[in-house]
Structure 1
Amino acid sequence: MKMELVYASTRDAQERVTASQAILRGLANDGGLFVPTQIPALDVPMEELGKMSYQETAYEVMKRFLTDFTEEELKHCINSAYDSKFDTEEIAPLVEADGAYYLELFHGSTIAFKDMALSILPYLLTTAAKKNHVKNEIVILTATSGDTGKAALAGFSDVPGTKIIVFYPKNGVSPIQEKQMVTQKGDNTFVVGIHGNFDQAQTGVKKMFSDAALAKEMDAAGYQFSSANSINIGRLVPQIVYYVYAYAKLYANGVIAKDEPVNVVVPTGNFGNILAAFYAKNMGIPIAKLICASNENKVLYDFFSTGTYDKNREFMLTSSPSMDILISSNLERLIYRIAGNDAEKNAALMRELTTTGKYEITPEMRAQLKDFYGNYTSEAETAEVIRALYEKTGYVIDTHTAVAAGVYGKYKKDTGDVDTKTVIASTASPFKFTRSVMDAIDHKYDSMSDFELVDELSRIANVAVPQAIEEIRNAKVLHDTVCEVDEMPQVVKNFLKI
């Protein structure tokens, strides 16, 4: 009989739920995030893992976290998610360029790493709803800094028993990202631009989750909220899979010896993607350093450097907009852990963040962060990394991946560690940020339109234009709602007709 894994709230030691309940709710009642009470060991020999497909690896990892799903349920979710929606059979291929291994996480239907988790979340969520005898229709409420929105919309479009509402910063995403969202089909989809930045959108969404009066109104109308943001454990668990898969593939391909440690570099704003790597390490995957790469919104770099998390700073709009974030929600899961899984201690720090915009961790807590290295890449450095890698190898990366590659360069310089094999999470296709990428390569492209740039990028990189871009080339705008931050709850009610 397998052990049942229980999930606890990071802010209330009393709140305990099953995996399916945690997925269904998204956020705990007290605003805390659900975390597994322990991280299960991945006790599968590396020889076996190395032979597994992506889908088989996903099952081995996810069954240890989602213990109240049956084998049949979980395999159905996995096989429905990782199918021909992805344009490569491996789902997450590794590409060697200039001495590092780029883990390409952008081969799904919206060409960003969010597809890796958001392709499966609708299946996990609808399965969880059945398990828990939910009668209400589930309303997915999500804030996006660019990629989550489209990936969630694509995942939930026309899924029976669900509706999805996505809020995004009206002037804070790339033109391609915006076009992907506002052309989304599906009778159950709704996209809203807000006059504000991502942090304001995310705070607005979190407020609606903890609004008891709104929940009552929703329930009376036959609805309940759930989340597709990376605060949902159903997003985080599938992300652990690709780090396990990458390590197993490096081993199977003879790149690394058995138990040889590798570094992992992750460009991150909300801290979810690197937290998944941290969980993979704690399952037993030999990861040496977790290298946390920030753009000019370097709140995480400053945190790792000083032990103080401080969001009181200017918000920068950069060429890597998915990381333009000052409140890294998933960091709370790490803080809870280094506070000795002490919900009270964590809740006090989070209250401080809400009231003063900052908090400081203790020296004992800081000592537990030794596996992490943080740094950031400036706008000019990001462009230079793209250009230099292309000129040297012909390989084209997007702006977010370039932030990671830039930080990896700084890590090698700072530490002298040039020998450890390193995986760089490549989180978006360069086609998603065409103008920034082509500008970095050569300013002569300045006068081209967005779609002319797409064709030129395809030519110089020798890569076919992804289907996700082709389909929005002439797509009609279907969503044009824009609102102020304080109007978000009313917009939701209007859409649901309550």
Structure 2
Amino acid sequence: MNFYSTNHQAPELSFKEAVIKGLPQDKGLFFPKEIPSLPASFFEALPGMDLPEIAFQVLQPFTTPDISEADLRAICAEVFTFPIPLKQVKGNIYSLELFHGPTCAFKDVGARFMSRCLQAFTTPGKPVTVLVATSGDTGSAVANGFLGVENVEVVILYPKEGVSDIQERQFTTLGQNIRAVAVEGTFDDCQHLVKQAFSDEALAKDMQLSSANSINVARWLPQMVYYFHAWGQWRKAQPQEVSDAVTFAVPSGNFGNLAAGVQAQRMGLPVRYFIAATNRNKVVPDYLETGNYTPAPSVPTIANAMDVGSPNNFPRMLELFGQDDKALKETVKGYWTDDAPIKTAIRGVNEKEDYLLDPHGAIGYLALEQYLPALQTTGIFLETAHPAKFRESIEAIVGSELALPAQLQAFLNKPKKAGSIPNDYGSFTAVLQEMANTSPAS
């Protein structure tokens, strides 16, 4: 499978080349040249498949021939080691719990898969420096996924005082090949610095750069897997006469997760609608309502991982619908809400349904409550992170202490190690040049 740039001004690359490069030189995003259709036999067998087998079947067309069948099976078996259960919250509303991995967030899937791919692709003596901008969960997932991976250095940029304490501890306490840098700005500023680095030809001469944000195809593509897994679990529990189609409400920041879901639909997954569920950073819901796509400075909210004013993956959304706005709007609905309804939903669902939402999952839940009466399908929202990752906020909302899972407790007593820079590209390149000069290969 080859991958082209959504800006169509860069050469096509293989999966391996696209993973290592991260971002095309023309500042577009890599996109698969073909989207394969999975056979009916796959969907018939899907309810009985385990996660590693689903992952292998879904991802093989995109990774061939760069990853052999045996190696891909081994990678999938190593990545998908934790459960991703579908749980009924009430009536026809279900939660897909994506927080049972090492860092308690959905990004464990993509980060772990990408780290194994990059480890397989790197050449001894030619280290790859992975650049990551994070609004919270990406940093922790990537840091833990790449920790100790030979020949790979990771630099994580995050907005100073813009992530929760637990999120920050998950990527600032590791050391080894993980470097964290706080930026005096917003997540969008961090994201812009990373994009500048990828288009810096002088920097490219000194360092081999890659990205582990969802702009990287190896981070983005494996997110399709849990949509198939969710449908398989739901289908297995339903009477045969119930319609196959479901609606997914996807808490959305950079829109990689939603783009992965739409691609799963293009491969044959019976999804009737998607809901782009956002907080006050509502660029895409506004676009779906008005037809005008106008990125704006991000604003802070209780759902901080979605505080994104210029979603990186939106070009992939357009590409999936052939740049046809009408087709996109027929499939994707928009929803946004403020902090107050999020808090009310968390409190209410906890009291009435005995189910604790995190702020991001709460937005997905609210989106389904609004849309399902008209859409008349089963609704599945993505519970993207464990509520304990936002312990202070959640405890204040529900009025009781929240126990931390073991994965998060492990970080509490470790000292933070992070640099700090102003929102300035020169300061960022100084950090990178220092790394290049001290690299064992330099």
TM-score band, normalised by shorter chain: over 0.9
Measured against aligned partners, the alpha-carbon deviations of 1:427-473 in whole angstroms (never above 9, x if no partner) come to: 0000101121122223xx5xxxxxxxxxx223xxxxxx312221022
Separation in structure 1 between the aligned mates of residue 233 and residue 143 of structure 2, nearest angstrom: 31
The answer to whether structure 1 residue 472 and structure 2 residue 411 are counterparts is: yes
1:83-482, aligned counterparts within 5 Å?
83=81, 86=82, 91-99=83-91, 100-129=93-122, 136-185=126-175, 187-218=176-207, 224-254=208-238, 257=241, 260-312=244-296, 315-340=298-323, 365-412=325-372, 416-417=374-375, 419-442=376-399, 456-458=401-403, 465-477=404-416, 479-482=417-420
1:449 corresponds in structure 2 to none
Paired residues of 1:46 and 1:258 also in contact (CA < 8 A): no
1:488 corresponds in structure 2 to 428
Q: CA deviation at 1:256?
A: 6.4
Q: CA deviation at 1:128?
A: 2.9
Separation in structure 1 between the aligned mates of residue 415 and residue 80 of structure 2, nearest angstrom: 28
Paired residues of 1:55 and 1:82 also in contact (CA < 8 A): yes
Q: Structure 2: which amino acid aligns with 1:55?
A: P
Measured against aligned partners, the alpha-carbon deviations of 1:349-386 in whole angstroms (never above 9, x if no partner) come to: xxxxxxxxxxxxxxx53344310000112100000010
* C-alpha spacing 1:158/1:14, structure 2 compared with 1 (3 Å): closer
Separation in structure 2 between the aligned mates of residue 233 and residue 312 of structure 1, nearest angstrom: 25
Separation in structure 1 between the aligned mates of residue 328 and residue 190 of structure 2, nearest angstrom: 32
Describe the SS at the equivalent of 2:174: coil
* C-alpha spacing 1:61/1:215, structure 2 compared with 1 (3 Å): same
1:17 corresponds in structure 2 to 13
Paired residues of 1:251 and 1:257 also in contact (CA < 8 A): no
Separation in structure 2 between the aligned mates of residue 50 and residue 367 of structure 1, nearest angstrom: 29
Paired residues of 2:299 and 2:309 also in contact (CA < 8 A): no
Give the paired residue count: 433
Separation in structure 1 between the aligned mates of residue 284 and residue 20 of structure 2, nearest angstrom: 29
Separation in structure 1 between the aligned mates of residue 386 and residue 241 of structure 2, nearest angstrom: 30
* C-alpha spacing 1:375/1:152, structure 2 compared with 1 (3 Å): same
Q: CA deviation at 1:238?
A: 0.6
Describe the SS at the equivalent of 1:396: coil
Describe the SS at the equivalent of 1:120: helix
Q: CA deviation at 1:259?
A: 6.0
* C-alpha spacing 1:399/1:256, structure 2 compared with 1 (3 Å): farther
Q: Structure 2: which amino acid aligns with 1:67?
A: T
Paired residues of 1:73 and 1:127 also in contact (CA < 8 A): no
Separation in structure 2 between the aligned mates of residue 52 and residue 336 of structure 1, nearest angstrom: 30
Separation in structure 2 between the aligned mates of residue 466 and residue 164 of structure 1, nearest angstrom: 26
Structure 1 residues 35-44 or 158-167, which shifts more? Answer: 35-44
Paired residues of 1:259 and 1:286 also in contact (CA < 8 A): no
Separation in structure 2 between the aligned mates of residue 475 and residue 173 of structure 1, nearest angstrom: 17
Q: CA deviation at 1:334?
A: 1.8
Separation in structure 2 between the aligned mates of residue 82 and residue 441 of structure 1, nearest angstrom: 32
TM-score normalised to the size of structure 2?
0.94
Separation in structure 1 between the aligned mates of residue 287 and residue 163 of structure 2, nearest angstrom: 25
Describe the SS at the equivalent of 1:190: strand
Q: CA deviation at 1:143?
A: 0.5
Describe the SS at the equivalent of 1:432: helix
Paired residues of 1:47 and 1:252 also in contact (CA < 8 A): no
Q: Which runs of 4+ in 1 moved over 6 A?
A: none
Separation in structure 1 between the aligned mates of residue 166 and residue 114 of structure 2, nearest angstrom: 24
Paired residues of 1:317 and 1:324 also in contact (CA < 8 A): yes
Describe the SS at the equivalent of 1:308: coil
Q: CA deviation at 1:257?
A: 4.7
Q: Structure 1: which amino acid aligns with 2:84?
A: A
Measured against aligned partners, the alpha-carbon deviations of 1:212-253 in whole angstroms (never above 9, x if no partner) come to: 0011122xxxxx111100000101111000001111111122
Q: Structure 1: which amino acid aligns with 2:127?
A: E
TM-score normalised to the size of structure 1?
0.84
The answer to whether structure 1 residue 57 and structure 2 residue 54 are counterparts is: yes
Paired residues of 1:157 and 1:189 also in contact (CA < 8 A): yes
Q: Unaligned regions of 5+ residues in structure 2, if any?
A: none
Describe the SS at the equivalent of 2:275: strand
Q: CA deviation at 1:40?
A: 0.8
Percentage of matched positions with identical amino acids: 34
Paired residues of 2:104 and 2:385 also in contact (CA < 8 A): yes
Separation in structure 2 between the aligned mates of residue 312 and residue 400 of structure 1, nearest angstrom: 20
Q: Structure 2: which amino acid aligns with 1:285?
A: L
Paired residues of 1:250 and 1:256 also in contact (CA < 8 A): no
Paired residues of 2:87 and 2:97 also in contact (CA < 8 A): yes
1:343 corresponds in structure 2 to none
Paired residues of 2:125 and 2:151 also in contact (CA < 8 A): no
Q: Unaligned regions of 5+ residues in structure 1, if any?
A: 219-223, 341-363, 446-455, 459-464
Measured against aligned partners, the alpha-carbon deviations of 1:243-270 in whole angstroms (never above 9, x if no partner) come to: 0111111112226657610000100010
Q: CA deviation at 1:17?
A: 1.2
Q: CA deviation at 1:322?
A: 0.4
Q: CA deviation at 1:39?
A: 0.9
Q: CA deviation at 1:287?
A: 0.2
Describe the SS at the equivalent of 2:335: strand
Separation in structure 2 between the aligned mates of residue 368 and residue 55 of structure 1, nearest angstrom: 31
Structure 1 residues 301-310 or 278-287, which shifts more? Answer: 301-310
Measured against aligned partners, the alpha-carbon deviations of 1:102-152 in whole angstroms (never above 9, x if no partner) come to: 0000111100110011111111112233xxx67511111111011100110
